[in-house]
Structure 1
């Protein structure tokens, strides 16, 4: 197979040709209409068999992957949807036109804020821990429970708690990278 495509033949009633049994059209309500990887075969069926019933070749393509954007980029794309000239809006607001146009067309997700474990200076094996009872208090905890959400800080929280000068390590959902 030279191309990564699948072909179907669909008639005007919304039914699909069964290539496996060549037994005619099946309902469009079946979960997996029969396909072929041979475009010529689909064209021939559409021409000979389905042509009299309004059949035509349908090419199946994979849905494009959504683009991952920052919160700021996502806001630009959202505002572009309300603009009369979305492409002009995007190009006037960002240097990364291609990425944002892909997001506009294909959809997007917003990247998660990176989380960091913040080491306590001059204390081996200890990290800062957000006290869940009081919003501005920090405790110190050992580094062996890194998946605890109270031990993970965003950049904004690091700034909020005044920990910018501390050593930090990026974390994943299951601990430090």
Structure 2
């Protein structure tokens, strides 16, 4: 609990300090590393509170076809980037110096949160703290809804990335 509070406080301070930075707009032509991170102009960006499927893990579709689960997540993020204008607000730095961002996409005259779009469609998951508590309650609700609706990756079988990362 103490570690989570420290992390939350650090994120709040980082968010406040970064609030002065202007929104970063991205073209569709970024270099995707995972379903929640990309590189653009020599900088690495990572969606805050979002966890993509791990590259190298297996996704088994309902018809039995197997593919790389991480590549499924990358394809979904790339598709989202290709359909609209993406703008991101920096909210902090990761240990690997990636910039954590919260992003919005303009789709069909509506603004949508990129993390919510990916998670609620079943293309990504809610990130968690080492304790297993969700980084974002809203994203945890979106994941639960996608799981209940059997959306996206939830329609098949896969190793949930949180269980892989936390070795559970």
| TM-score of the pair, normalised by structure 2 | 0.20
Structure (1 or 2) with the greater helix fraction: 2
Structure showing greater radius of gyration is: 1
Structure (1 or 2) with the greater strand fraction: 2
Higher relative contact order (CA 8 A, sep 6+): 2
